Amino acid sequence: MFTGIIENQGVVIEKEKRGGQVRFGFKFVRKDRKPKVGDSIAVSGTCLTVVRGETAGFEVDVVRETLEATTLGNLKRGDLVNLEKSLKAGDPLGGHFVTGHIDGRGKVIEIKRLKKNTTLFVQAPKDIIALQVPKGSIALDGVSLTVQKVHGSVFEIAVIPHTLKVTTLGLKRPGSEVNIEIDIVARYLKAFFPGKRISGWSSKNILKMILRKGF
């Protein structure tokens, strides 16, 4: 489990095909503790298991399904990724609960830069858009963010300068892809109300629907 608060970044220093999977090596951008074999680390939002840890970085194996479902398959040597270690009991919860299980990929189609923040317009698959609500939580490349508006196949995210500086979101351009993880609450709503589009629902309407279900 993670919170979507990025602690460090990593540089891809190795990408080696091994049968149906790929071994990645990452070097920490900032000094960090040595990961242990078996540790869980979210790499641009994707929960991966450390197979080799060093003071300077770590290595992970990524299976074909994950490569196809996320943006990790497009990584090349020199690329930056967002890193977050898994939560420990007593750790502060600064963002929202993030599982590290990517629901799909989205594409940045427009970027509006203002003095105080930057707005990203992200186009996403229908099944992801259907579960987005204004003021709801979402994780993009592992970063905990808040949905501002939803219209058609696009949702808007406002990103403050600090987040742009310390994560890979500051490197995004129109056409860039991002890993998307929907809010865990939306996952349950999807299970409770299969086929329903909750985009645009208010919290009051959601509560009414849940009570009608008898939960």
Tokens of 62: 């990524």
| Predicted confidence (pLDDT) at residue 204 exceeds the cutoff of 60 | no
Give the length of the chain.
215
| Predicted confidence (pLDDT) at residue 210 exceeds the cutoff of 60 | no
Query: Using 50, 70 and 90 to split pLDDT, how confident is the model at 193?
Result: low
Beta bridge partners of 63: 21
Per-residue pLDDT at 9: 98
Mean pLDDT of 114-129: 92
Per-residue pLDDT at 143: 97
Per-residue pLDDT at 196: 62
Per-residue pLDDT at 73: 95
Per-residue pLDDT at 180: 97
Per-residue pLDDT at 70: 97
Mean pLDDT of 121-139: 92
Per-residue pLDDT at 208: 61
Question: Backbone phi, then psi, for 116, in 5-degree steps?
Answer: -95, -25
* Beta carbons of 62 and 21 less than 8 angstroms apart: yes
Question: Backbone phi, then psi, for 111, in 5-degree steps?
Answer: -135, 125
Query: Using 50, 70 and 90 to split pLDDT, how confident is the model at 130?
Result: confident
Per-residue pLDDT at 184: 82
Per-residue pLDDT at 147: 94
Query: Which range (69-78, 88-97, 177-186) has the least confidence?
Result: 88-97
pLDDT in tens, 156-165: 999 999 999 9
pLDDT in tens, 36-62: 999 999 999 999 999 999 999 999 999
Cβ atoms within 10 Å, residue 57: 22
| Predicted confidence (pLDDT) at residue 151 exceeds the cutoff of 70 | yes
| Predicted confidence (pLDDT) at residue 200 exceeds the cutoff of 70 | no
Per-residue pLDDT at 183: 87
C-alpha distance across the termini of the chain, in Å: 25
The full set of domains in the chain, from first to last, is 8-85 (2.40.30.20), 104-213 (2.40.30.20)
| Predicted confidence (pLDDT) at residue 188 exceeds the cutoff of 90 | no
